[in-house]
């Protein structure tokens, strides 16, 4: 696996791969890799000639009181895992390499930027879209792989590549979970023992919500029931539980079609998100 940290070197390598007619798949991450990330790398590797993985903890997508400093990092372990799972190139720029000067331009997400995580993380999705735009310019991938754990991010980035005529296929991979159902996340290491035991209740509550929808419950009633279930099973503060259409992220007029039931809860140091998307 080739290790690159200079953006210019990444661009030059991409240009060379293009002349060799190689197809390029890209897996952007913030590192501290787990099975979820590795499933993206594996999926990318099964369909494309070259897999580029990036590790960059992007300060622009963290709010002031969020866990940027506390975000877990272990580059040596990540390099080993990425290589073992089929990555060919690891791009790991520093903050100053990615943002050598204050940005004068950023991507402003319009649709889907006032619901779910956007409500409690103002600026987050503009930060995500901006860094992904920059990374796509450097890596010039044919396809980029993202996890459905971050379904709102998927919806927003699909809109971005469409709106800006970017020639990148956004491919998605299902959420990889621990045995008790907790979605794998780099942040899970920052849960204390009790919080870790309670953390799976988010997915359990969402699954119960899905059953209630299938039983024909009204949106407001079932959202309340999911919240009550969470209040009973965890000490975490509920950030939101919501049911929207997917990928439009709009309040459904009726409970049919493709839907997303999503939630976020906040423990002492860790905010967890999860969702289920399904068709009715």
Residue ranges in contact with ligand AMP by CB under 6 A: 29-30, 36-37, 39-40, 146-147, 149-150, 173, 175-176, 183-186
Identify which of residues 30 and 118 has a Cβ nearer to ligand AMP in the complex: 30
In sequence order, the 6+-apart residues with CB closer than 8 A to the CB of 21 are: none
**Residue at shortest CB range from ligand AMP:** 147
Identify which of residues 113 and 175 has a Cβ nearer to ligand AMP in the complex: 175
The whole-angstrom separation of Cα 114 and Cα 166 is 24
**Helix 35-47, helix 75-84: angle, nearest 10:** 40
Please state the closest distance from residue 249 (CB atom) to ligand AMP, in A: 16
User: Using the 8-state DSSP alphabet, how is residue 183 labeled?
Assistant: B
In sequence order, the 6+-apart residues with CB closer than 8 A to the CB of 277 are: 148, 151, 246, 258, 259, 260, 261
The whole-angstrom separation of Cα 254 and Cα 187 is 35
Please state the closest distance from residue 277 (CB atom) to ligand AMP, in A: 13
Please state the closest distance from residue 183 (CB atom) to ligand AMP, in A: 5
Contact 25, 51 (CB under 8 A): yes
- Is 37 a known active-site residue? yes
Identify which of residues 78 and 198 has a Cβ nearer to ligand AMP in the complex: 78
Residue labelled with tokens 């002031």: 64
Contact 275, 147 (CB under 8 A): no
Please state the closest distance from residue 215 (CB atom) to ligand AMP, in A: 28
Please state the closest distance from residue 73 (CB atom) to ligand AMP, in A: 11
User: Using the 8-state DSSP alphabet, how is residue 182 labeled?
Assistant: P
Identify which of residues 222 and 273 has a Cβ nearer to ligand AMP in the complex: 273
- Which is the catalytic residue, given 34, 37, 88, 162? 37
Contact 233, 208 (CB under 8 A): no
Identify which of residues 18 and 266 has a Cβ nearer to ligand AMP in the complex: 266
Candidates 277, 184, 263; CA nearest to 230 is 263
Q: Which residues form the catalytic set?
A: 37
């Amino acid at each position: 696996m080739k290790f690159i940290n200079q953006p210019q070197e990444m661009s030059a390598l991409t240009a060379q791969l293009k002349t060799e007619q190689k197809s390029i798949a890209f897996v952007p991450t913030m590192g501290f890799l787990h099975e979820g990330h590795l499933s993206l790398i594996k999926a990318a590797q099964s369909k494309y000639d070259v897999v580029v993985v990036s590790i960059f903890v992007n300060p622009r997508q963290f709010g002031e009181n969020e866990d940027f400093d506390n975000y877990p990092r272990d580059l040596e372990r990540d390099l080993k895992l990425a290589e073992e799972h089929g990555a060919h190139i690891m791009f790991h720029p520093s903050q100053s390499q990615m943002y050598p000067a204050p940005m004068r331009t950023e991507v402003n997400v319009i649709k889907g930027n006032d619901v779910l995580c956007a409500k409690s993380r103002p600026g987050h999705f503009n930060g995500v879209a901006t860094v992904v735009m920059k990374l796509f310019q450097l890596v010039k991938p044919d396809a980029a792989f993202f996890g459905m754990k971050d379904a709102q991010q998927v919806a927003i980035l699909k809109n971005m590549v469409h709106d800006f005529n970017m020639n990148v296929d956004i491919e998605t991979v299902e959420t990889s979970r621990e045995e008790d159902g907790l979605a794998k996340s780099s942040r899970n290491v920052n849960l204390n023992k009790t919080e870790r035991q309670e953390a799976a209740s988010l997915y359990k509550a969402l699954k119960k919500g899905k059953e209630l929808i299938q039983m024909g419950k009204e949106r407001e009633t079932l959202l309340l029931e999911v919240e009550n279930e969470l209040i009973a099973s965890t000490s975490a503060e509920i950030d939101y539980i919501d049911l929207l259409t997917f990928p439009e992220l709009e309040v459904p007029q009726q409970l049919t079609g493709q839907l997303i039931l999503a939630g976020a809860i906040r423990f002492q140091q860790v905010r967890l998100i999860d969702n289920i998307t399904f068709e009715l």
